[in-house]
Each structure stands twice: as C-alpha cells, then as structure tokens.
Structure 1
Amino acid sequence: LPCPMFKKPFSCNGNTKLKKALLKKVRISAEKSLELFGDLPAEETAKIIPTKAEAFEVTKLKGSRVGFYTYKDVPVFIDVNGKGNIIPTVFGMWLCPAQMLVLTVDNGAFPHILNGADLMAPGVQLKLEDFPDFDADQPIGIAVPCGKVIAVGYTLMSSESLKKNGKTGKLVRVEHYLGDHLFLHAWKTSPSPHCSLPEDLEHLQELLNLPARAAIASELVEEEEEQKEEPQEELPAEDEQKDENNDQEEEEDEEQLPEVREKLSMEELLKMSFLQGLKASISSDDLPIIGSVFYSLHMQPNRPRGYKLDIKRSSYKKLVRFLQAMARDELITIKPLPKGEVQILTINEEHADYVEFAPYKTEASKKKASESSNSKKSNADDKSFRITKLLRPTADLFPVFSEIIEGAQKTQLYTRKEAVDTLWKYVALKECSKAGNRKVELDTALSRGAFRKQKKEGEIVTKEELATRFVAALQENYEISRDGVISVVKGCLEPIISREERRGGHKYVTRVKGLETYLLEPKDIAKELRKKFAASATVSDLPMGKGKGGAAPQEVVIQGKMNHQIKDYLCKQYEIPGKNIELFSK
C-alpha cells in the first residue's frame, strides 16, 4: 500500500456522481475489505452507502490513484490505491462504528496519533492476552477512551505475532486521522453536521487549531428559530412544578461559586485556569499527564465564563514555556518529552497560590451542575454504582503505616492520596529529608518495601521517584458498590467479556461473562436481555479453576451478534464504564 496521502495538502480532480451499478461495486469492495461490514444490518449500512444512486460521489486526488467517497457531503470511505482497497474515514466510523475492529488507546498515546504518528503496541489499553484476533494488513480503527474513533489504518503484524513478540513494536500504520488534510477539507467545505466534532471530542478543537464552521453555525441558528416558531405543548401542573424546582436547584448550585467579572490579561487567565484545573478538575490518579492533554481537558473547560483562552496571545507564546514557568514557581514538577512536549508529574498542594486559590464559575460549571442534579435524583436512596481503586500495604511497607496510623491493620485499605500522605509523614518523622529538599535518604523500610532491595539503606533518591515506587509497590484492590452492597476485588479488576461466536453457517451467539464482579446477577441480566432484544438468552456455568471454592461463575449466552448492543445496554442501564467492557469476535 502507498504512503498516507492526507498528511500533506492535496488537490482534487472534481467529484463524480456514481450510478447504481458502480454503487454496487463499492458495496462489494467494502464487504471484501472490511470483515465486519457484511454482517451489519441494512439500516446501519444505509447511513454510509445508499441503496439507490443518490448523493454518493467519488473524488480523485490529482497525480494519484487515491480517492475518497462521499455520501451527502460526508467523506465515508477512502480508496487507498484506486483498486478497491477500501477503508472508512473517521466520519464514516462515527456514523457506523461497528464496520471494523477498533483498538482503544490510552491518554498518553492519542496526542501522538493526532500528530500523524503510527500506533505503537504499548499505547493500546489492553493486556497482551486480551488482544482480539486480527491478521497483518487488516483495516483497523483507533479510538480514545471515550470510545470515539480518531484514526484508521492497517495492522503491521498479526495478533499471533504480537503475542509471540510481546507488547512491543509498531502495531498500526495510520492512513487517516483527526486533523489531517482530508479531515480539514471536509471541515472547511462540507455543510453536513456529521462533519463536525462529536460532543465527546469537542474539547480537541482548540488542540487541533480548527477554524470555525460558519455554515453549520448558521444552520443551527435557523433550526433554533424554526423550533421557536413551533407551538409548544402545554405541560401538566405537576411537570411545570418539577421544572421550576430543577431551575431553582441549578441556580443554587451556581450561586455557590463566585463569577469572574473584572477584565483580565491573558497571563492572568492562564494562571487562573491552570489553578482551577489543578484544584477542581484533575485527580491524583490522572498523573502523570502530558501538558497538551492537561491544557485541552482541564484548562480550557475551566476558564472563567465569558473569556477565551489563547496561549499564543500571551507573553509565553507556547504552552511549554507556561508550564516551565509554573514549574519554576514550584507549583508542579515536569519532565521534558520529545518534540517539545512536557509531562506533568506532581502537584504541590502546599504551595501558597494553590492553598489560597478559590474556585470560580467556569464555562463548564452550569453543565456540570445540571448533570450533578440529575445524578442525585437518579442515584437516590444510595442506588448508585461506584468503582474505587484502593491500595493495601505489603508486609515490607506495613511498618511505614503502623508508625504513622495508630491501630493500623494489615488488611486496611487506603486511597492513593492517603497512602502518599502517610509516606511524607513517615519521611518527616524519621527525618529522612530536610524541609524544602526534594531528596530523600532511604531507611530500611523504604529500601526494602518500595525498592525491593534494588537500592540500599542510606542511598539518596528524589521525592518523585520515591512516591512512584512506593505507590507501585502497594497491592491494588478495587471497592465495588451497588445498591448499598459493597464488594472488594483483590488484584487487577477483570473486565466484562462479550464474545461473538459463529455456530455453523451464518448463525451467531454472544457470550457474556464476568458480570458477578460488578455485582450483577447473570440470571437477571439474561431475563432483561431476552425482553430487550427479543432473542433467546440462557445462563450456563463456567468451569472453575483448581482449588477455587464457592459458587461457579456463570455466563449469559444470547442469540445473534449482540456485542455493541449489550455494551451500550450495560453502560446506560447499570453504569458500567465502557473501558471495563471488552468486545471480541471470532
């Protein structure tokens, strides 16, 4: 296959509307190129390929065989070599996400993908043994943790080779990604709302420096005016009273935070948004975090209301210089990365600016207030679902906790913040570090427990290295709470596995296991899925490992290819995070 053509600007030879016979050839090419496309229902494929010859066009690039197909002004497929090797665009994947296999990457990998880099195997959010089956040179999508695809490409090795070689090396050659010149071409020229960023990816607009979509904005204004002209239905008195109560609750939530009204310089805005992000948005579990990711996820949404944040209009000019200034002020510690990036390692919560800073109203505060009020109603009577990561000290590190916490027990669990606070109290008690010094002298407990004798007693390490090794040495546990019932899982939290299997001919079944871990009863889930999808669903026992007692684990078996429907149902109905549900297909 040729090198990606959309990393550089291109010129088009014009658009050609396809007739019905050629349209059929495109559908056949899609079924041959994309393994899952042929199994999709007709209503799904109709979103990207029409059944009749209407508004489906092909655009060829000048000086190349590469072309792309558009449907109703939305680029949906790319012909990478002009010979029918078809791969979806990111727009096509947003419209029809089930047409090919998708791998999810972590927050550390996706900024590199948006810069046009290929995907390395360590950036995928899967354990080596949990990778789905795929061949070399197979079309594949790349998604961020929220589930939205940001790039497409071809695998450079099979899953068998990956598992033999370990989770190393380059895994996917990226052909098209969010922000490349094909994306920008559609963004600037297409009036279709499907060429706008989905809600889950809107925060990336500043990061990608995308221009405004004036055509879409005007269409939305016209739609709003039409909606205003339509007569509204009268609500019953009870519903009106509920709406009034909801409005009052939102106003009370907003009144709790002050609003910034005075004129501010861009430097002051950056500092305020930075402190707001540190204090009200980011958590310790998010660290370390890449600087550009922190800017788009935690600074932009936390700017004061009515203001725009633009680093280029400040004296810093670049985000790296601003973060370096914050590091010189000892608000954060940073680590330089390739290509001019930096990584935020730790936050100094004892810094005077951090302590004295008072949160204010942000652009996202009203939305968060309404979401929190809705969540309070839906989660009344303590019926919410929650997963909390907790840490338990090992035998070598228990002396650190028993020295600080009176009556500490070996089975006691701590949050990450509680564990780190205990570490610094222990360091101060044992006088392992002087006030204001970033170096720590190891004693017997720290050298044995945190570094597993890799460093000897009396050696000097930085506080960042000690905190990282200390937390990594603690045993992971997860507290799962549902309807007032609490369960603690030791070690790694196993995901729910949904696997589609062929049962001769064109018949499929979907097997779902691991529901008990999330306090779900397989028999109840099978009954609900049977009603929801009008399909036969049964429950069967799974084999138990040697030496394991208690009730045998069970799996739900439902007829049909139901991977995505089941994942969507579990996420919405039972609040299971999408990252804790893994899909496989044989």
Structure 2
Amino acid sequence: MFIKAFKVKSNNQLKGTERKRLCEEILAAYPALTDDETQSLIPKKEAISVMKIVTHSGHSGKVYCVAKVPMFFQLESLHQALLPTIFTLWHYPNLLRTFTTYAPVVSKLASGADLMLPGVIVKEPITLYSFGKLQKGTPVSINTDDNQAPVAIGLTALCSEDMYMSGGHGKCVEIVHVIGDTLCQLGKPPVRPNLGPLNVDTDNDKLENLNEIAEQNNDNNEETLIEAINDLETNNDRVLEIESPCEEENKIEESVEMPVDQATEEAAVDPIKEMDSLLEYCFLKACKTSIKSSDLPILTSNFFKNHLIAACPSDKNVDIKKSRYKKLSLFLAEMKAKGVVNTSVTKGVESILSIKFDHPLIKGLVIAEEPTPIQEPIISNAAVVSECYKVTADVLPVLSKFGYEILKLNPQLAGIMKTKANVETVSIEDGINKFIGRMTHMHEVTLAGNKLLHTGKLEPIDMRVTVRSGGKKVTLVNNLETFGINAKEFSKECQSIGASATITDEPGKKTPSVLVQGNQILYIYKLLTEKYQIKKNYIRGLEFAPKKQGSHKK
C-alpha cells in the first residue's frame, strides 16, 4: 500500500480535543493498552499531527505522527481501522497477532511481495490451530526469526483453518506497510531495535511470554526509540502541503555542535520575542515586496502560505505557534490596530481587505538579507493552449536551407508557393500566408512541462446536463484528456462538494467522460477556469447552468 509514494493533501497539528479523541480511539482499538501506555505513545509534550493522504492506488486515509514519526494510520480501503505502524509495534510488539518469517524474506516484502505460507515459520507439529484462530482480513504483524521487532503489517489473506488446509501453499498475509516504504521515510525514522531472536518454544497463543521478552529489552529499546523521536525537529515546515514524502526528509537539518560560549549566548535570547520579531519582519517584508493591491482582498491563510512564509529568510523558519500570538488572527488584529491592514471575517473565514502600503512600518522596513538569485521558472500545472504549425516534408527543405528568407524566390520556393513562372519576389504577407498554407495547422497544449499536440480543430471541454433513470439530473464533462486533465483526479475534485462523481464511457467519445450528480455546471466551470486555468473560449456548455431565482418572466 505504501511501496509507492503517496500524496499528502494536508498536514495539521492536533488540538487538545482531537488529541484526546485519538487516545480514546487507540484504547478502544487496543484494550490491552493501559492509559499510561497510551500516553507514552501520544505524549502531551510532543507535537502530534495528522496528515490526510491519498495513496498511489487512489485510496484516501490519515497518518498520525508524533514528532514527525508515523505511529498510527487509517485507510478507507481498510474500513478506517486504526492500525499501528512498525514504529509503534517496536514499543508494544503484542498489539497485533504476529507471524514469523525468515530474515531474507524481508527484502522481498519491501519490494512489494506478500507473505506466502512457505515463508511462515510454524512450530512443529503443525495442527489445526498452528496459525491461530483468525478470520480472513485480520490485521497482523510480521517479525523475523533473528529479531522479534516487527518489520511489516498486513491483513490475513485466509482464515486460520484455510491456512492449515492449504498444506503450506498459497498466500498468508497481504502486506499493507513494510519497513523501508514511503511511510517509513517520513521525517527521520528510528532504527529497528533488537528484541532478541525468536524462541522456537514460544506458543503464539500465549502473549504473556512475549511481554516478558519485551520487558527484558525495555530499557535499551524504549530509550532508543524515545531518543530518536526527541532528536527530530518539531518545528512546523515552511511548506504547509508536502508534495513528496522524500522531500520532507531532505528538509530536516542536522544539528551542529556550537562552542559553549556561543550556545550560552543564544540561550539568553528570549525565543518568543525572537519569533515575534521574525513574524513581524516577514509580514512587513511581504507587504513591501510580494503582495500587490491587485491581489486584494486575499484570504489570510493564502497570504500566510504564499506571501508571509515566502518572505522568511532562507536560514530561518517562521512558526506562529512559537510566538506570543499563537494564532495568525491575533497577530493580524495587532497589525490592524496599528493601521497597517484592514481585515474582515465572513462565515468564520478571515480575509485581508486592504494594506496601507505607505505606512511608516512598511516604508521604514530595511530588508536585511540579499535578494535571492533568479531561479528556474516554476512549471505550472495549468494547461496553456497555443496555435502552431507542424513542419511538413514540403517546407522542411526551406527551413533547413534558407531559414526565413522567403521573399526572394528561387525555383524551389516558387514551387512550394505555387507562384507563376515570371514572379521573382512576393510580399511578406503573401509569402507568409502561402508558406503557412503548406503546413499542418495544429494546437499545442502545455501542461506541467509536457506538450500535447492536436491536429486541426481543438475540441473544447464540453459540459452538458442530462436526465438519467429516475428523473435525476447529472452533469457530463467531456474532452478533459485533450487538455491533459486526468479524468480520475478531476472526478475526485468534484466529490469535494458532496456530489458523487464517476468516470464513464459515452457513445461517440474517444476519451472517458466524468459524470457528476446534479446540475454542477457552475462549479465545474469555476474549477476549470480557476484551478486548471482553462480559457473560457475552450469551455462549452455554460448555458446549461441553473437559472437564478427570479430571472424567469412571470
């Protein structure tokens, strides 16, 4: 499930009530844990965050992290069951029923293979209950014969009786999470502890013996995991949404040893006041250099993400939770009291209406750092359409030999333009028109750096409303693939408004169509023009939008 990279849609820190609810869910899912053990997994002094993700196969879910180390996860394909990661099982290996395999098998599991019955170590003699008393689809963990620290988590592919009846052949566990996968690559993962080799005399149905083994290694293993977690930086990342889990690892800075005098001097600085100053500096710098009056009004969340954080010096991280304000709204309230900005709140959403660019705080700001060098242009995900002409065999000799000199005609040029025999020159306008007439008319669609060429007329994105069985209205969207828009991703965007959306094959259409429940013309039109930045002249069907009340004649 996590072998391939997943996409993180959001990453937010849990509030007090959410943290309490998570502890209750853990206790309900794993009643063997005590309150103290749950508190050790979800410590009050550590930053607990929840990431909403979409796996490579398209399943949504959540990952709960302690100091950026994933500890629990939920997936819709697993019926939202709260499952521990292998890092959690290194603390408490008995949360799940365990299967044991040989150490060389781990590399196969890490490559995406499932655990097969021949790879399971079972106590001899094999009986009906050698595989336990498990139902199909039961969450289990997998360890190795040389180390009882789990290396993978999965779901049983068969019930225990079927495993016994299979005679040692077939699939045993479908792997969901394995050591080394992209879930393990979040942050700076701890090192797998050594819980000791497998005791061949251990009865898997008697978990008390495993508890004794875990307690014997508790001092070394627990300290190792806690130290690894404490070594991680708990600062919020400057980027609010993570595009790739591997990039998150690269952003963690290694600690550098400092001389004692320097460390003492820095400790004397009040970190709260220092963060207050950095926050105000980034805010004023964004107002002075980044945002324009044409960008207003703007949501405060967008201002913070796209302007304020971008104005932060490269060697620092702005974290509003470490300032005395704790919340962006409180900081903006102070800036509003000073007359720098004017804000308003509508339905619980705050926006910046105006900025006084000639305010003394903005005009008097001295930017300390040097301007950043010009970077490579950012590749946009918006589809850009432009007309072009494909070079054909007729005009290729001209372009390769004569470049753009098309006014002085020679026999070859005269033959291409089909001019009369006595014509030696043509006007620029006639020459260009005749030359282009010998080329193929095309449209070029550029999306995320990739270019798609379409010959002839470019069919626009077609929206229309039809009535299906039961008299229910549905909205059909066609020709998305022409503009490089993935139909599957687009259908998920449409589901954010609470309407079901599916992909269907319409008769006479070469590419799949997206079917959305209800008349959603206005929402789809706004999505295409704003997020995907499709020009209005390449969208057809706005006339099917629902009429506003009162617009009909009486």
TM-score after normalising by structure 1: 0.32
- The structure whose residues are more often helix, as a share, is 1
TM-score after normalising by structure 2: 0.34
